[in-house]
Structure 1
Amino acid sequence: MHWWRQCATAASVLLLAQLSAPPALLAQEVIVHPGVGVTTITTNEARLYLTLRLKTWPNGVPVKVFVLPDGDPLHRRFSNTVLGLFPYQLRRVWDRQLFSGTGQAPTAVASEAEMLWRVASTPGAIGYVESVPAGASVRPLEVR
């Protein structure tokens, strides 16, 4: 088999694997505390909230950001697909604000379960999960 045919076959297999992956593995949901009065935000607004450049919600409640560790696969996918940023770019923004005294870093959580609990119990909170489980005490936020 020629090398180009092997490459084409390998690319086809990878594409098929991505297309047949369960949707839950590809989706990420932005979640907020139920008291946040917003139901839809733009991608740019999501970036501004999660980089702590927008510090309050429209109703005046302070924004509290929760994130998974930088190396977490969900954090990497969320940063890339929803925010259009690499995790190191997010970290750079947070560190710059923290070290300059103009802001604070987000609160890191260890798991999606902790993310759900912290967002549900913290007024003004925003975070992300693979998908929102039925009966969760958080509200999904549509990013368009």
Structure 2
Amino acid sequence: MNHKRIALLAWLVLAGTTALPALAADLYVIANPSLALTADDIRDIYIGDKQIADGVKLVPLDNSAQQKDFLEKVLKLDGAKYNGIWIKKGFRDGLNAPAVKSSDAEVIATVKSTPGAVGYVSSAPKDLKVIVKY
């Protein structure tokens, strides 16, 4: 039993140290290839001020694995302020906050298959449009 605890503790320490470099990783904002967006559009999309581009309804996606970095680097907001913006948008304008995906792979798959989708990931996919790198 004691060996299992030591192995678990070692695994947790190793997992924690390998996750640290990801905190400083780059972020790539990606979009469905049908969209023509600029870096200036990203903030407006993620706070609900821009909802249509090229005649297509925009579908912003949050990535739970990268959200904290995205909010800090791109939107210059913390999680509470971001959620507050969307609560107000929901009551005032009837808008829904971006859907939250759990990983880069899930964001990439959704962006590929959804016209109007915009998301952010930690590494640039080869087959999708990168709008901006942070």
| TM-score normalised per structure 2 | 0.75
Q: C-alpha displacement at 1:68, in angstroms?
A: 2.3
In the alignment, what sits opposite 1:98?
A: 90
Decide which structure has greater strand share. Answer: 2
In the alignment, what sits opposite 2:52?
A: 56
- Cα deviation 1:24-53 (Å, max 9, x = unaligned): 942101010010023x322xx311101121
- Which amino acid is the alignment partner of residue 47 of structure 1? R
Q: Is the 8 A contact 1:46 1:143 kept in 2?
A: no
* Pairing 1:30–2:29 present: yes
The DSSP-based 3-state class of the residue aligned with 2:52 is coil
Percent identity reads: 26
Q: Is the 8 A contact 1:25 1:130 kept in 2?
A: no
Q: Give the 5 Å matches for 1:125-140.
A: 125-133=117-125, 135-136=126-127, 138-140=128-130
Q: What is the distance in 2 between the residues matched to 1:79 and 1:27? A: 13
Q: What is the distance in 2 between the residues matched to 1:97 and 1:24? A: 29
Of the three residues 88, 92, 101, the one matched with 1:109 is 101
Q: What is the distance in 2 between the residues matched to 1:143 and 1:61? A: 23
Equivalences, count: 115
Of the three residues 119, 122, 142, the one matched with 2:132 is 142
